[in-house]
């Protein structure tokens, strides 16, 4: 294959990488001095306010996928593709009221796994943990890969080195600071991301002659402007339910719900959704008109960086580099922390060593963070397939958990059998449809199957659940 | 005599400049492919460095109305936005001949019936999701309710595990 010269000088790329890497680790160490207790390490003392809460939720949801996949969506599916990616914000909007419900029901809860175990029992819990772990690893790997690809595309930093540096920095400051470090750095990263995207979007608008660009797309890529494009329409719902499933089930969001002050938790998630929504639209918009800018997209995975690099020149490439690095950091640290919490609390403390002290548990959490970092690095080293394939394979799994979570929080009559069948059947059918029809229907079908199972089981169930069982304190 | 003819043919072949051979698509490998979303990754090989390539697309195999897809030194491009039907692609390096045989890409979108069914089902699912969420959040009958104050000493969380 071809390749254009890198837009950013590799030395500048390395310099930025080292400067920001050291800054995040130092900040993580500074904020992490409060993380001496288990609650401090895992849940930032359960006292996070609205500004930090909204910032961390928004920053966590702005991943490298937002900046890399949103352009892909737009380039493949046009207008609807661009909007399809932004429907992932629905997950944050819908989780907003749920988060206050979670805090009411489980004031001393730690993980989403806690909820599923108490609500539905051990079998559902194991299935849920499997789904969550597979998805978390898929997300981690996709971001590790994306980081390596972007740094290589922008600054010529070899894929292995770029990917390794990003993972190393994130593991380090998550290790030293826990959720305090994660949320603190997320706040700064969210500001950088918002300002950076604003800059890139503004430059793009000044550089693109919209009528000409529209005419070019209409002539050479007419399907991209087709509002009835089937794949695009289906991906709208598919991505929406994938996003809802990601947020509803994953401990990244539940840990934030537990970490925030009860009075602000709902507003924080809603605000985060508002701030996040325009970002994939801006990223996709730029890619949609790449042809009119004379940019040849050689590899769909590199659409975003290629367009931004060409459009913005060296300074703009620096801005993009920093934005991508921040978006990677804000998501990888959250995933490391939340997945470590889940494995520590649900697997280590509940299954392996129930009598473990808080200090012992905290230590185990740090080992798990390191283990997750190493595992992610090993998988990223192999650099498997297309980014969309890596991540969307987990779509049917997480979508199958939407209705069990919703029903578990709000329906007294919802029983465990229904939840188990919903997750298993939804996942299996969704995966089957992924291979037989396409990725653009898998999450949607999984959600539908899961919904039917849950509605039926709720209708036929006669027993009711005692909500107070969720609110019990640990001994 | 036969050997002399064969030897002559061998030297003639060697004399043919390598650069007179047409550039060719390497991805996709087949001459005819199907796309369900109107996209296509194209990669090709030419004679060597400093080559300039031209790719054209047409709705008919005779290329009566070709449109330019790409022109430049790159050896790959991502094509998107193709409408349903057959599209033909051909490749040329510099001023040399066009690639042997056009690449045919048939774009077949997902069945409209399937799309309609799934869209309706998706709308219903989303509507119900929002409905039950709002219902539960507002604490309407049938939805959830806050846990009652427990007068018993706190049980351990593990005691509720089946």
Mean pLDDT of A203-207: 79
**Mean per-residue pLDDT, B24-50:** 86
What string of DSSP letters covers A276-314? HTHHHHHHHHHHHTTGGGT---S-GGGHHHHHHHHHHHH
| Model confidence at A224: pLDDT above 50 | yes
Distance CA A453, CA A110 (A): 28
Which carries the bigger pLDDT value, residue A164 or residue A110?
A: A164
Query: What pLDDT is stored for residue B13 in this prediction?
Result: 53
The strands making up B76-79's β-sheet, listed across from edge to edge, are B24-27, B40-45, B76-79
The total number of residues shown for chain B amounts to 162
Quick: pLDDT tens for A147-184. Answer: 888 888 778 889 999 999 999 999 998 888 877 788 88
Using alpha carbons, select from A384, A463, A396, A457 the residue that is nearest to residue A424.
Answer: A396
Residues of B in contact with A400 (CB under 8 A): none
**What is the residue whose two structure tokens read 């029901």?**
A105
The yes-or-no verdict on residue A191 having pLDDT over 60 is yes
pLDDT digits (tens, 9 = 90+) for A85-94: 899 999 999 9
* Residues in Cβ contact with A359 at an 8 Å cutoff, skipping those fewer than 6 apart: A38
Q: Which residues of A touch B150 (CB under 8 A)?
A: 468, 471-472
For residue B104, give the 3-state DSSP assignment: strand
Contact B154 A447 (CB under 8 A): no
* The pair of three-digit structure tokens given for residue A457, joined into one six-digit string: 């089981």
pLDDT band at A282 (very low <50, low <70, confident <90, very high): confident
Position A229 scores a pLDDT of 84
Buried b / exposed e along A126-162 (16+ C-beta atoms within 10 A): bbbbebbbebbbbbbbbbbbbbbbbbbbbbbbebeeb
Taking only the tens place, the pLDDT of each residue in A321-338 is 888 888 888 888 888 988
Mean pLDDT of B123-148: 76
The structure tokens listed for A400 are 């199958």
Highest-confidence segment of A31-45, A48-62, A233-247: A233-247
Spatial separation of the C-alpha atoms in residues A64 and A56, rounded to whole Å: 15
Kindly state whether A401 is in contact with chain B, defined as any CB-CB distance less than 8 angstroms: no
Which comes out higher in pLDDT, residue A76 or A405? A405
pLDDT at B157 (0 to 100)? 31
Residues of chain A in contact with residue B41, where contact means CB-CB under 8 angstroms, are 299-300
User: CB-based contacts of B75: which residues, under 8 Å, 6+ apart?
Assistant: A1, A2, B43, B44, B45, B46, B53
Tell me what pLDDT residue B5 has. Answer: 61
Q: By percentage, how much of chain A surpasses pLDDT 90?
A: 34
Structure letter (DSSP) for residue A350: I
Q: What is the mean pLDDT of residues A1-26?
A: 78
pLDDT of residue A451: 96
- Predicted model pTM: 0.84
pLDDT of B121 reads 93
Q: Does any CB of chain B come closer than 8 Å to the CB of residue A78?
A: yes
Residue B52, min C-alpha distance to chain A (Å): 11
User: Following CA atoms A336, A339, A344, A345 in sequence, which dihedral angle do they give, to the nearest 10 degrees?
Assistant: 140
Cβ of B78 within 8 Å of Cβ of A298? The answer is yes
Helices then strands, each counted (H, E), chain B = 2, 8
Q: Is A471 within 8 Å of chain B by CB? A: yes
Q: Which residues pair with B34 in a beta bridge?
A: B106
Is the pLDDT at A2 greater than 60? The verdict is: no
- pLDDT beyond 70 at A11: yes
- Spatial distance between the Cα atoms of A31 and A177, rounded to a whole number of angstroms: 6
Classify residue A461 as left (phi > 0), alpha (psi -120 to 50) or beta: beta
Q: Residue A106 and residue A402: Cα distance in Å, rounded?
A: 19
| Main-chain dihedrals φ then ψ at residue A414, nearest 5 degrees | -65, 125
| Cα dihedral A218, A221, A225, A229 sign | positive
**Of A233, A406, A470, which has the smallest distance from its Cβ to B133's Cβ?**
A406
Phi-psi region of B85 (alpha: psi -120 to 50; beta: other; left: phi over 0): left
pLDDT number for residue A217: 85
CA distance A137 to chain B (A): 27
Q: In this model, does residue B148 exceed pLDDT 60?
A: no
In this predicted structure, the answer to whether residue A288 has a pLDDT above a threshold of 70 is yes
**Please, what is the Cα angle at A113 between A136 and B129, to 5 degrees?**
80
DSSP string, A406-421: HHHHH-TT--HHHHHH
pLDDT at position A428:
96
pLDDT band at B47 (very low <50, low <70, confident <90, very high): confident
- How big is the CA angle at A165 (ends A161 and A168), to the nearest 5 degrees? 135
Residues with Cβ within 8 Å of A150's Cβ and at least 6 positions away in sequence, in order, are: A64, A67, A68, A162, A304, A305, A321, A324
Most confident region among A22-36, A304-318, B9-23, B78-92 by mean pLDDT: B78-92
Query: What pLDDT sits at residue B41?
Result: 92
At residue A267, the pLDDT reads: 94
The stretch A49-62 carries a mean pLDDT of 87
Vertex A290: Cα angle to A143 and A144 (nearest 5): 10
Q: What is the ipTM of this complex?
A: 0.87
Q: Is the CB of residue A391 less than 8 Å from the CB of residue A242?
A: no
For residue A417, pLDDT over 80 is answered with yes
pLDDT for the residue numbered A215 = 86
Query: What is the Cα–Cα distance from A365 to A346, expressed in whole angstroms?
Result: 11
Q: Which residue has the tokens 């309710």?
A: B145
3-state secondary structure of B33: strand
Give the alpha-carbon dihedral of A220, A224, A229, A230, to 10 degrees: 110
Query: What's the full length of chain A, in residues?
Result: 475
Which residue on chain A is closest to B67 by alpha carbon? A220
CA dist., res. A33 & res. A35, Å (int) = 5
Phi, psi of B29 (to 5 degrees): -75, -30
Which residues does chain A have within 8 Å of residue B75's beta carbon, measured at their own beta carbons? 1-2
Sign of CA dihedral A438, A443, A444, A448: positive
Give the mean pLDDT of chain A. Answer: 86
The confidence score (pLDDT) of residue B160 equals: 33
Angle between helices A230-249 and A122-155 (to 10 degrees): 120
Interface test with B, best of A78, A153, A296, A430 (most B CBs within 10 A): A296
Taking phi over 0 as left and psi of -120 to 50 as alpha, with beta for the rest, B94 belongs to: left
CB-nearest partner of B80 from A76, A438, A444: A76
Return the structure tokens found at A207.
């550089």
Asked if the C-beta of A237 comes within 8 angstroms of chain B's C-beta atoms, the answer is: yes
Q: How many Cα atoms are found within 13 Å in the side-chain-facing hemisphere of A77?
A: 23
A437 touches B: beta carbon within 8 Å: yes
């Amino acid at each position: 294959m071809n390749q254009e010269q890198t837009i950013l000088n590799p030395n500048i790329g390395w310099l930025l990488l080292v400067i920001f890497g050291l800054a995040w680790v130092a900040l993580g160490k500074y904020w992490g001095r409060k993380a001496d207790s288990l609650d401090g390490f895992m849940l930032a003392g359960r006292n996070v306010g609205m500004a930090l809460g909204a910032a961390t939720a928004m920053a966590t949801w702005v991943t490298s996928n937002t900046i890399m996949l949103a352009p892909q969506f737009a380039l493949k599916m046009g207008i609807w593709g661009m909007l399809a990616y932004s429907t992932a914000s629905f997950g944050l909007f819908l989780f907003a009221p749920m988060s206050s419900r979670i805090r009411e029901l489980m004031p001393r809860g730690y993980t989403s796994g806690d909820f599923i175990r108490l609500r539905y029992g051990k079998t559902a819990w194991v299935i849920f943990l499997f789904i969550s772990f597979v998805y978390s690893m898929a997300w981690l790997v996709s971001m590790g890969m994306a980081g390596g690809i972007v740094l290589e595309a922008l600054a010529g930093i070899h894929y292995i080195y770029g990917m390794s540096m990003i993972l190393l920095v994130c593991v380090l400051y998550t290790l030293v600071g826990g959720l305090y470090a994660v949320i603190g750095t997320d706040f700064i990263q969210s500001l950088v991301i918002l300002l950076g995207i604003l800059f890139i979007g503004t430059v793009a608008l000044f550089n693109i002659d919209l009528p000409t660009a529209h005419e070019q797309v209409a002539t050479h890529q007419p399907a991209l402007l087709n509002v009835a494009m089937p794949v695009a329409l289906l991906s709208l719902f598919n991505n929406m339910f994938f996003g809802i499933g990601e947020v509803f089930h994953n401990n990244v969001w539940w840990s934030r719900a537990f970490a925030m002050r009860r009075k602000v938790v709902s507003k924080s998630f809603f605000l985060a959704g508002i701030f996040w929504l325009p970002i994939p639209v801006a990223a996709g918009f730029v890619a949609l008109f790449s042809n009119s800018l004379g940019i040849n997209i050689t590899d769909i995975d590199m659409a975003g960086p290629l367009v931004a690099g060409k459009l913005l020149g060296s300074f703009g490439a620096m801005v993009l580099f920093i934005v991508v690095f921040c978006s990677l950091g804000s998501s990888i640290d959250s995933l490391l922390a939340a997945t470590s919490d889940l494995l520590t609390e649900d697997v280590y403390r509940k299954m392996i060593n129930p009598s473990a002290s808080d200090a012992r548990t905290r230590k185990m959490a740090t080992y798990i963070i390191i283990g997750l970092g190493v595992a992610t690095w090993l998988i990223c080293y192999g650099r498997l397939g297309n980014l969309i394939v890596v991540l969307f394979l987990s779509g049917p799994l997480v979508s199958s958990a939407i209705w069990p979570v919703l029903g578990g929080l709000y329906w007294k009559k919802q029983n465990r059998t229904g939840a188990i069948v919903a997750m298993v059947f939804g996942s299996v059918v969704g995966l089957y449809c992924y291979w037989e029809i396409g990725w653009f229907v898998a999450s949607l079908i999984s959600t539908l199957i899961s919904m039917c199972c849950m509605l039926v089981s709720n209708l036929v169930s006669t027993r009711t659940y005692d909500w107070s069982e969720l609110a019990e304190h640990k001994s | 005599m036969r050997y002399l003819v064969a030897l002559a043919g061998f030297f003639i072949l060697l004399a043919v400049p390598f650069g007179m051979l047409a550039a060719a698509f390497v991805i996709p490998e087949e001459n005819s492919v199907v796309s369900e979303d109107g996209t296509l990754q194209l990669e090709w090989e030419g004679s060597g460095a400093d080559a300039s390539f031209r790719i054209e697309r047409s709705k008919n195999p005779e290329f009566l109305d070709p449109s330019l897809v790409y022109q430049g030194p790159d050896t790959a491009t991502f094509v998107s936005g193709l409408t349903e039907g057959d599209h033909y692609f051909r490749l040329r390096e510099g001023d040399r001949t066009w690639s042997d045989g056009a690449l045919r890409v048939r774009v077949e979108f997902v069945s409209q019936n399937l799309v309609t069914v799934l869209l309706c089902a998706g709308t219903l699912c989303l509507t119900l999701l929002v409905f039950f969420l709002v219902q539960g959040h507002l604490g309407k009958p049938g939805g959830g309710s806050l846990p009652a104050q427990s007068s018993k000493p706190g049980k351990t969380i593990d005691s509720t595990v089946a």
